[in-house]
């Protein structure tokens, strides 16, 4: 366990842009990536806005043949993975590929392909169903496509843990390197669920905000007027690398990943416990894994989806873990700008946490106007803030009561 893991590459496709630098600049300016749904006519649906990756063009990364044979969630992962590998300056060949793995999670997998093929089945019959449909649907295919394109023949896996999938994939990849099963892991999350079925289902269960006016103001974590999350799509990928391996090849080092925790609420299939016990246990486990006390943490990027119950539960969990320090520790809810990228959320928020550590800038929680007395911490309201950070945590919690927390430390 004397191995250390550093982050050497970052890549992302989000509603705020299609490269990490642009995304970060827009985030720190408090810009929103939320707008009216354009991928289909949503006029009759229970939600009308979403966070679409409007600047993404799959033809920049795949040829026409591959575009037809891959779901959008895979296309987004391929693009983010390529950016991360380029950022890391990582060359993969036959001599190194067996020590490089890929863990990219997704909550819903190829949902868009499922809906399209099901329509073909109903309208044209079973003989017209594409034989490649299973290879477009499965959640692990993002990891598969990225590994094939890059020649990474090491461990290959995918967490399918709802909104914690990206964070779980990063955490499991981190432990894969620690135990010596790989030297480099390409890890993160991806999602493409702005589809009629997803918007209908999540809207009918009242998880999505029904508001349509002023889309940029709808996602409002911790605010008293919050009324549900905004569905978003995107992908985020990190290159994790064993420290000495990174040093030998002169890799850029963004930060160090030092802790990973996972825990279950064992409470309800969609709602967290009011006291946030599962999230608190998860954060405590991450700190234990890092060998750090709660007092060492300078900043938290919260899961904070803008739901009435979830934001209170996470606030309670943070208070449980950090005690009095919770009131002075800054907390950002960046879903106020990106919306909720489901299985990719924990990965993009890990990138935001890393950049906050590197650049000493806390991204804001925008649309914070009315204080909820149950959410009474410092949520970095509406404007970015400079701060010297050494240790930061990122949280991701999902349906089924599954929780993941990651702890990053400024590299020394």
Catalytic residues: 163, 303, 340
Tell me whether residue 30 is exposed, middle or buried, using C-beta atoms within 10 angstroms of its C-beta: 0 to 12, 13 to 18, 19 or more: middle
- Which residue is associated with the tokens 């390197």? 177
Alpha helices in 215-369 (DSSP H): 243-248, 277-290, 308-322, 335-338, 345-359
Write down the residue that tokens 């949520």 correspond to.
Answer: 379
- CB contact burial 38-77 (16+ within 10 A = b; e otherwise): ebeebeebbbbbbbbbeebebeebbeeebeeebbbbbbbb
156-172: b (≥16 Cβ within 10 Å) or e? bbbbbbbbbbbbbbbbb
Cβ atoms of 370 and 307 within 8 Å: the answer is no
**38, 32, 77: which is closest to 54 by C-alpha?**
38
**Taking the mean position of all CA atoms in its chain, how far away is CA 113?**
22
In DSSP terms, 260 is beta-bridged to 406
List of E strands, 31-183:
35-36, 49-50, 100-105, 156-157
> In the 8-state DSSP scheme, what is residue 73?
H
| Rounded Cα–Cα distance for residues 24 and 210 (Å) | 28
Structure token digits, residue 12: 């992302």
């Amino acid at each position: 366990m004397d191995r250390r893991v550093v982050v050497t590459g970052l890549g992302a496709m989000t509603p705020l842009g299609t490269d990490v630098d642009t995304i970060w600049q827009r985030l720190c300016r408090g810009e929103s990536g939320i707008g009216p749904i354009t991928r289909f006519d949503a006029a009759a649906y229970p939600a009308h806005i979403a966070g679409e990756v409007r600047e993404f063009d799959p033809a920049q990364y795949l040829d026409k043949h591959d575009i037809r044979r891959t779901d959008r969630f895979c296309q987004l992962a391929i693009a983010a993975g390529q950016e991360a590998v380029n950022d890391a300056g990582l060359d993969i060949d036959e001599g190194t590929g067996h020590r490089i793995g890929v863990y990219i999670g997704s909550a819903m997998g190829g949902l868009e392909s499922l809906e399209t093929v099901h329509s073909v089945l109903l309208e044209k019959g079973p003989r017209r169903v594409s034989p490649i449909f299973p290879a477009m649907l499965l959640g692990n295919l993002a990891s598969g496509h990225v590994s094939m394109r890059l020649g990474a023949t090491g461990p290959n896996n995918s967490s399918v843990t709802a909104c914690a999938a990206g964070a779980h994939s990063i955490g499991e990849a981190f432990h894969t390197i620690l135990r010596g099963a790989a030297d480099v892991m390409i890890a993160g999350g991806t999602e493409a669920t702005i589809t009629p079925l997803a918007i209908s289902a999540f809207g009918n269960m009242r998880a999505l905000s029904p508001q349509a006016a002023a889309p940029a103001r709808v996602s409002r974590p911790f605010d008293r007027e919050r009324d549900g999350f905004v569905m978003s799509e995107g992908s985020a990928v990190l290159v994790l690398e064993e420290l000495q391996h990174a040093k030998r090849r002169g890799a850029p080092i963004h930060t160090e990943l030092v802790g990973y925790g996972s825990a279950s609420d064992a409470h309800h299939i969609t709602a967290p416990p009011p006291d946030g016990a599962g999230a608190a246990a998860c954060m405590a486990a991450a700190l234990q894994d890092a060998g750090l006390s709660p007092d060492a943490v300078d900043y938290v990027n919260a899961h904070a989806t803008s739901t009435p119950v979830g934001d209170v539960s996470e606030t309670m969990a943070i208070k449980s873990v950090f005690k009095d320090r919770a009131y002075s520790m800054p907390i950002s809810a960046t879903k106020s700008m990106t919306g909720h990228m489901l299985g990719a959320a924990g990965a993009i928020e890990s990138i935001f946490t890393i950049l906050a550590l590197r650049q000493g800038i806390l991204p804001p929680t925008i649309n914070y106007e009315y204080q909820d007395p149950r959410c009474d911490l410092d949520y970095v309201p509406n404007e970015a803030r400079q701060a010297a950070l050494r240790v930061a945590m990122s949280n991701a919690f999902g349906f089924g009561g599954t929780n993941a927390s990651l702890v990053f430390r400024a590299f020394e």
